A and B are shown apart, each in its own frame.
Chain A
């Protein structure tokens, strides 16, 4: 009964390289969220996906960042041409349904991927 699995735990990239972060949600969960935590900051919402669909990407930077959640396989957060400012902890979370009043639904988080850009 695995929880949210993120890999790798640590990722080191040089400026200009690509970073690919993977997230396998809790089995049976069809909703995935990506958050970013910069040093000394809270969790910033990036994107919300359901299977094969991006529902809300209002927190995603307009360039270089993309996310997908294919029908089969993990969700991927991709950062192209990384810069030092992309260094952060990236957390994935999943839920079975909408987070909705009265349902007591909640997000289940993975342990995160710490991205370091040299």
Chain B
């Protein structure tokens, strides 16, 4: 029962262009969403988050958009840089439920 779905296992984007990573969720009780970035042989590191009371959160080159009616969120990276090549995990949690559920991840390749 995959409550957080990342349907694209991988994505290749030219350096300098926009990277868009997508995530869908099934549990309407989720109200806090996060993106994590993971390099090989390292643990995931927090990137950006958004609560359900917002539809957009921006931090530098990273913007997360939330569409609650569609149960969909996306992470935009612009401009994409070589160091952005990593696996990106979408995650979600419910208020008063402290478990964070992760998707399977999307491997982003930034091409020179």
Q: Do the beta carbons of B46 and A108 come within 8 Å of each other?
A: yes
Q: Do the beta carbons of A106 and B49 come within 8 Å of each other?
A: yes
By secondary structure, the A interface counts as loop
User: Which of B13-21, B69-77, B78-86, B91-99 lies at the binding interface?
Assistant: B91-99
* Residues in B40-75 with C-beta less than 8 Å from chain A: 41-46, 49, 51-53
Q: Do the beta carbons of B52 and A101 come within 8 Å of each other?
A: yes
Contact A42:B32 (CB < 8 A) given known A108-B46, A109-B43, A111-B41: no
Contact A43:B51 (CB < 8 A) given known A56-B99, A98-B98: no
**Contact size range, B:** 20 to 34
Q: Any chain B CB within 8 A of the CB of A69?
A: no
Nearest neighbor of A50 in chain B, beta-carbon distance: B98
Q: Which of A40, A42, A56, A93 contacts B89 (CB 8 A)?
A: A42
A54 contacts across to B, CB distance below 8 A: none
Q: Do the beta carbons of A33 and B100 come within 8 Å of each other?
A: yes
